Amino acid sequence: MNAAKRALKIIRQNCQNEIRELNKAYKDYYIHEHIILEEFEYIELCAWTKAMKLIPKEMQDEILKLIKNKECRFESLPDFFKFSVSAANYKV
């Protein structure tokens, strides 16, 4: 689980703009209904794609082992990164 916590720390430190954009998109889609679902999904995809690129391959492999061994609740690496970007504002 250390790899997952280290990954979340890296994301929290390096994706602040993407996290802010995602939070704004979340409000615009779910609360104010100013954007459509496709726009929200695009912003989400951009954010977690950047997050994936920041995490070293070895660390991604460690997280993938946790996923395969069912030691964490995610079903795939993209699921992990989607959650990580969304959760990066919160302390772990």
- Given a cut of 60, whether residue 91 has pLDDT beyond it is no
**Given this model, what pLDDT does residue 71 score?**
82
Q: How many residues does the chain have?
A: 92
What number of CA atoms fall less than 13 Å from residue 53's CA on the CB side?
8
Residue bearing tokens 């995490």: 55
Per residue in 38-50, pLDDT (tens digit) is 998 898 888 888 8
The three-state (H, E, C) secondary structure of the chain, written as one string:
CHHHHHHHHHHHHHCHHHHHHHHHHHHHHHHCCCCCHHHHHHHHHHHHHHHHHHCCHHHHHHHHHHHHCCCCCCCCHHHHHHHHHHHCCCCC
Per residue in 11-35, pLDDT (tens digit) is 888 888 888 888 888 889 888 888 9
The whole-model pTM stands at 0.70
